[in-house]
Amino acid sequence: MYSSRNETWLFEISSKRKLIDLNFKEIWRYRDLLFLFVKRDLVTVYKQTVLGPLWFFIQPLFTSVIFTLIFNKVASISTGVVPAFLFNLAGITAWNYFKVCLTGTSNTFRANAGIFGKVYFPRFIVPMSKAISNLVKFGIQLLIFIGFYLYYVYYQGVDLAPNVFIMLFPVYVLLIVIYGLGLGMIISTFTTKYRDISILLTFAIQLLMYVSAVPYPIGQLKAKVPEYSWMVDYNPLAQIIEGFRYTVFGTEDLYFSWNGFTAICVIGMVVFVFGLILFNQTEKTFIDTV
Amino acid sequence: MGKVILKAENISKQYRLGLVGTGSLMHDLNRFWHRIRGKEDPYLKIGSVNDRSSKATEDYVWALKDINFEVEEGEVLGIIGKNGAGKSTLLKLLSRVTSPTTGIIKSKGRIASLLEVGTGFHPELTGRENIYLNGAILGMTKAEIASKIDEIVAFSGCEMYIDTPTKRYSSGMTVRLAFAVAAHLEPDILVVDEVLAVGDAEFQKKAIGKMQEISGGDGRTVLFVSHNMASVSSLCSRAILLENGCISYSGSTEQAIDRYLKDSIRSTDVNHELFPIINHDFAVSFDAIKLIQKSENIIQIELSVQTLNDLNEIGFGFRIKDIHDVYIASFTPGLTGITVDLPKGKSTISLEIENFIDVVSGGQYYIDVWLAKPKLQMIIFVEKAIGYYILPKDWYGTGMEYDRNRHGLIKINANLSID
């Protein structure tokens, strides 16, 4: 009996939980599954639709048009040198990626209860696959954005060019993923038992977009309603959206500071790690409560 | 002693009864409050024993309690028990779907379950794509699946539709395809849950056949869950018997089956829910029925009866049928003319059956019982009042079991001689 204590086991199942139990070796072993999930997500969304992948473009374009009409034409919010449509397209593209990461992750447990209730595989594969498949969609939408960017620069003669901060662009994309998955995992924990949260989320995310500086530059809000500037100052999402725009447009009237950048990186890591902890705790027994 | 590949140490699983609502939120908060102070979960101490038929007195129930066992490499371990004894919970824990409340399971191999049929099938994907997806979910790598895909397609018999989305499949085809994927899994430890076999009768037969084939062959480690004692006894080298969430026996398969069957005669298989049955015209009621194993081959049916008046010349009849509702034997008052006089009040009618068990082949039997007046006036009739399982028999001591499907229903004595 004593000798068995020293034996190595492939895995142990117990109620004791390590705080973070992210088994990279295991995730690596299931890489094919990750790939197949990504493929499934991409292939099946627009099956049996006429326009197919075109839908990837239509949604951000139309939203940008409406935003331009309402916020810039009607409410006359100035976007500085940047054409309003391009400004909105950048914000919406970034926000959409955050939104799909968040919602995709937040219903991980409920949407996959059928599979999770029957077989084991590292549960973190699911949020990862959501982040990757949506990254592909984000990439496609980015192409549209670049297309319009070039159109404005070369045909409309708008004086725009990204400066050295474009180097931070991948970091901002990563931040979007970190916040999306982190917050999503936190929410997913609560939705398994208390469904109120998922009902709340659907409209909360809508409102969150407006306080996260998507349809306006932070500078405009500060200028027009300075008493509400805390809303964007302490909102990491607003900082990310604004920073994302800064890396692509590089105009001085957009708001960027290294302190803020460091802060959102740190907060992002905290949120992500906290999300991962909760996710780990939940994945073990959620099937009993879902 | 072989190498231990799977080991369960003191595992228990607690479930909460009832609905999730504000009460459970209070419990969660209380639990959280205990945890941050470093105290034990306050709800672990309580909880009823997992007995389905008794009324729940508390909010928590132990589906499994202090389970310990070891499985050696290459061993086929049977897990038997009544419905609700905790078999499925144990399988859930073993397949890592949920984790135990206390205790630890250690494994040296990958565990996969054979009957997680069609998990993760996506209706929009083609049959081929679904084979890959489903296989990956079950733990196969892409390369493994690719090397087996022809075999899988052939086994499923869906070659023609393999590049059609599975939403166009009939439900039967989907199940076939899914089972084909599952059947080609090669985990270190295979969990076979025959109880979950689904589909039409033909497919069930095929599935069970395949499961037995896999369990039986090539020295693989298998955990075999079944209600079919014949297949448990033929496949398993060792068995554990679960009862109300605890292991009540662990050891030789014969012993475990014996205990299980004795237990099932005593409680489950008498259809208690039917009683009492009252006939107001005669003012008679059937209060309860009992089956007593008097010796190896003799059983006795005891019927508790109550009447408001003296009833003379009452016949007591029964007939025995098998699972296909074929009558095997009858003992009826119309036939035998045997009657009893029931006095006013409570009484117990006993009937000893002498030569049944020793002549029929093993399997499940049911007994209908009734009270009647002669000239066939039925008073009370109870269909399938008792279920009785007879062990597979090795009548001739050759190690060959007398199988009802292959050899017949009854035993005959024949003498072989040569002049």
* CA-based nearest residue to A19, from A276, A287, A192, A283: A276
Which pLDDT tens digit goes with each residue over A141-169?
999 999 999 999 999 888 888 888 888 99
Q: Angle between the A258-285 and A236-249 helix axes, to the nearest 10 degrees?
A: 130
pLDDT, average across residues B177-194: 81
| Backbone phi and psi for residue B61, each to the nearest 5 degrees, phi listed first | -140, 145
Helices B127-137 and B142-156 pack at an angle, to 10 degrees, of 130
Whether B98 and chain A come into contact, CB under 8 Å, resolves to yes
Q: Chain A partners of B129 at a C-beta cutoff of 8 Å?
A: 40, 43
**pTM for this entry:** 0.72
Q: Report, in angstroms and rounded to the nearest whole number, the Rg of chain B calculated over CA atoms.
A: 26
Between chains, do B4 and A33 touch, taking CB under 8 Å as contact? Answer: no
What pLDDT score does B24 carry? 66
B404-419 mean pLDDT: 83
Inspect the interface and report whether the beta carbons of A10 and B108 lie closer than 8 Å. Answer: yes
Mean pLDDT of A132-144: 92
What was the pLDDT predicted at A4? 45
The beta-carbon neighbor of B133 closest among A29, A36, A284 is A36
Q: Report the percent of chain B where pLDDT is more than 70.
A: 81
pLDDT (mean) for B94-99: 84
Q: Is the CB of A15 less than 8 angstroms away from the CB of B93?
A: no
Q: Which pLDDT belongs to residue B197?
A: 59
Per the CB < 8 Å rule, is A193 touching B20?
Answer: yes
Residue A4 has its nearest CB partner, among B4, B116, B137, at B4
| Measured distance CA(B75)–CA(B222) in Å, rounded | 6
- Cβ-contact B367, B319 below 8 angstroms: yes
A14 contact residues in B (CB cutoff 8 A): 99-100, 103-105
Q: Does B31 touch chain A (CB under 8 A)?
A: no
Ordered DSSP codes for A226-285: GGGTHHHHT-HHHHHHHHHHHHHH--TTS---HHHHHHHHHHHHHHHHHHHHHHHHHHHH
CB contact under 8 A, A10 and B107: yes
Higher pLDDT, B337 or B219: B337
pLDDT confidence bin for B222, thresholds 50/70/90: confident
In this prediction, residue A267 carries a pLDDT of: 94
Check pLDDT > 50 for residue B289. Answer: yes
**Residue type present at position B151:** E
Task: List, for residues B386-396, the tens digit of each pLDDT value.
Answer: 877 777 777 77
CB contact under 8 A, B109 and A10: yes
Rounded Cα–Cα distance for residues A144 and A156 (Å)? 17
Q: Is B4 within 8 Å of chain A by CB? A: yes
Distance CA A282, CA B100 (A): 13
**CB–CB contact A119 B7 (8 Å):** no
Residues of chain A contacting residue B3, judged by C-beta atoms under 8 Å apart:
none
Quick one: pLDDT at residue B216?
Answer: 67
CA distance B119 to B170: 17
A18 near B CB under 8 A = no
Q: Which two tokens stand for residue B202?
A: 């033909």
When pLDDT is averaged across residues B242-264 and rounded to a whole number, the result is 80
CB within 8 Å: A194 and B25: yes
Q: How far is CA A194 from the centre of its chain?
A: 23
Q: CB A33 to CB B106 under 8 A? A: no
Instruction: Flag if A40 and B20 touch (Cβ within 8 Å).
Output: no
Q: Per the domain annotation, does A9 fall within a domain? A: no
Check CB contact of A234 with chain B, cutoff 8 Å: no
Q: Does any CB of chain B come closer than 8 Å to the CB of residue A119? A: yes
Bond preceding residue A60 cis, omega within 30 of 0: no
> Which pLDDT score, from 0 to 100, does residue B58 have?
60
B57, B208, B224 from B115: Cα distances, Å: 35, 10, 12
Using CA atoms of A77, A81, A86, A90 in order, give the dihedral in degrees to the nearest 10.
-80
Please check whether residue B106 touches A, CB under 8 A.
yes
In a domain, A34, yes or no: no
In terms of phi and psi (left: phi > 0; alpha: psi -120 to 50; beta: otherwise), the region of A268 is: alpha
The answer, yes or no, to whether residue B22 has pLDDT greater than 60, is: no
Give the CA distances from residue B173 to residues B116, B124, B194, in Å, rounded to whole numbers and listed in that order: 16, 15, 20
C-alpha distances in Å from residue B394, one per residue of B42, B284, B305, B359, B360: 53, 44, 39, 12, 12
A213: left (phi > 0), else alpha (psi -120 to 50), else beta?
left
Residue A2 lies in a domain: no
pLDDT bracket for residue B268 (50, 70, 90): very low
DSSP secondary structure letters along B143-179? HHHHHHHHHHHHHHT-GGGTTSBGGGS-HHHHHHHHH
Distance of alpha carbon B312 from alpha carbon A243, whole angstroms: 98
- Please return the burial class of A171, using the count of CB atoms within 10 Å of its CB with bins 0-12, 13-18 and 19+: middle
Confidence label for B264 from pLDDT (cuts 50, 70 and 90)? low
The lowest-confidence range among A107-111, A137-141, B256-260 is B256-260
Q: How far apart are alpha carbons A86 and B277 in whole angstroms?
A: 81
pLDDT of B18 > 90? The answer is no
| Spatial CB neighbours of B248, under 8 Å, sequence gap ≥ 6 | B241, B242, B259
Does the distance separating the beta carbons of A32 and B136 come in below 8 Å?
Answer: yes
Mean pLDDT of chain B: 79
Residue A243 falls inside a structural domain: yes
- Residues A99, A230, A277, CA angle at the centre, nearest 5°? 45
* Residue B317, SS3 per DSSP: strand
**Could you give the number of structural domains in chain A?**
1
Q: Report chain B residues whose CB lies below 8 A from the CB of A121.
A: 137, 139
DSSP secondary structure letter of residue B343:
P
* pLDDT tens, residue by residue, B320-354: 888 777 888 888 888 888 888 888 888 888 888 88
Would you state the pLDDT for residue A222?
85
Q: Write out chain B residues lying below 8 Å of A120, CB-based.
A: 95-97, 111
**Average pLDDT, integer, range B397-409:** 76
Is ipTM over 0.85? Answer: no
Mean pLDDT of A79-91: 90
Inform me whether the pLDDT recorded for B253 exceeds 60.
yes
What chain B residue is nearest to A287 in terms of C-alpha separation? B98
Q: Write out the DSSP string of B231-290.
A: HHHHH-SEEEEEETTEEEEEE-HHHHHHHHHHHHHHTTTB-GGG--EEETTTTEEEEEEE
Instruction: Name which of A46-50, A151-155, B141-145, B370-374 the model is least confident about.
Output: A46-50
Angle between the N-to-C axes of helices A169-193 and A125-154, in degrees from 0 to 180, rounded to the nearest 10? 140
Distances A190 to A184, A257, A281, B19, B96 between C-alpha atoms, Å: 10, 34, 11, 16, 21
Q: Is B7 on the interface with A (CB under 8 A)?
A: yes
Nearest to B332 by CA among B292, B288, B376, B379: B376
**Domain with A275 in it:** 52-288
Query: Burial of A73 by CB count in 10 Å (0-12 exposed, 13-18 middle, 19+ buried)?
Result: exposed
State the average pLDDT over residues B41-45.
Answer: 65
Range A273-277 average pLDDT:
91
Average pLDDT, chain A: 86
B318 residue type, one letter: F
User: Nearest to residue B134, comparing CAs of B117, B113, B147, B149?
Assistant: B117
Distance CA A140, CA B5 (A): 49
Is residue A25 assigned to a domain?
A: no
Mean pLDDT is lowest, of A89-93, A185-189, A207-211, A249-253, for A249-253
Q: Has residue A27 been placed in a domain?
A: no
Task: Quote the pLDDT of residue A1.
Answer: 38
* The pairing of beta strand B299-307 with beta strand B327-331: unpaired
What confidence tier does A268 reach under pLDDT thresholds 50, 70, 90? very high
The arithmetic mean of pLDDT across residues B70-90, rounded, is 84
Q: From the list A36, A118, A284, which residue is nearest B132 (CB)?
A: A36
B273: its two tokens: 């829910």
Q: Which of A11, A48, A121 is closest, CB to CB, to B137?
A: A121
Q: Which of A2, A12, A15 to mutate to test the interface with B (most CBs of B within 10 A)?
A: A15
Which pLDDT value is given to residue B44?
A: 65
Interface residue B35 vs chain A (CB under 8 A): no
Read off the pLDDT of each residue in A233-237 and give the average, rounded to a whole number.
89
Residue A38 has pLDDT above 90, yes or no: yes
Burial A126-161 (b: 16+ CB within 10 A, else e): bbbbbbbbbbebbeebbebbeebbeebeeeeeeebe
Give a yes or no: residue A12 inside a domain.
no
B160-179 residues touching A, CB cutoff 8 A: 165
To the nearest whole angstrom, how far is the Cα of A290 from the nearest Cα of chain B? 9
Structural domain contains residue A73: yes
Given A14, A116, A118, which is nearest B100 (Cβ)? A14
Q: Does B110 touch chain A (CB under 8 A)?
A: yes
Domains and CATH numbers, chain B: 4-10+64-266 (3.40.50.300), 283-390 (2.70.50.60)
The nearest alpha carbon in chain A to B28 belongs to A193
Is B165 or A20 the better-scoring residue by pLDDT?
Answer: B165
Give me the DSSP letters along B344-392: SEEEEEEEEE-SSTTTBPSEEEEEEEEEEETTTEEEEEEEEEEEEEE--
| C-beta contacts of B116-119 below 8 A and 24+ residues apart | B116/A118, B116/A119, B116/B182, B117/B175, B117/B178, B117/B179, B117/B182, B117/B198, B118/B174, B118/B175, B118/B177, B118/B178, B119/A114, B119/A115, B119/A118, B119/A119, B119/B178
Average pLDDT over residues B166-172: 84
Out of A36, A43, A114, closest to residue B136 by CB: A36
pLDDT tens, B44-53? 665 555 655 5
Helix axes of B201-216 and B171-183: crossing angle, nearest 10 degrees: 0
Of the pLDDT bands very low, low, confident and very high (cuts 50, 70, 90), residue B266 is very low
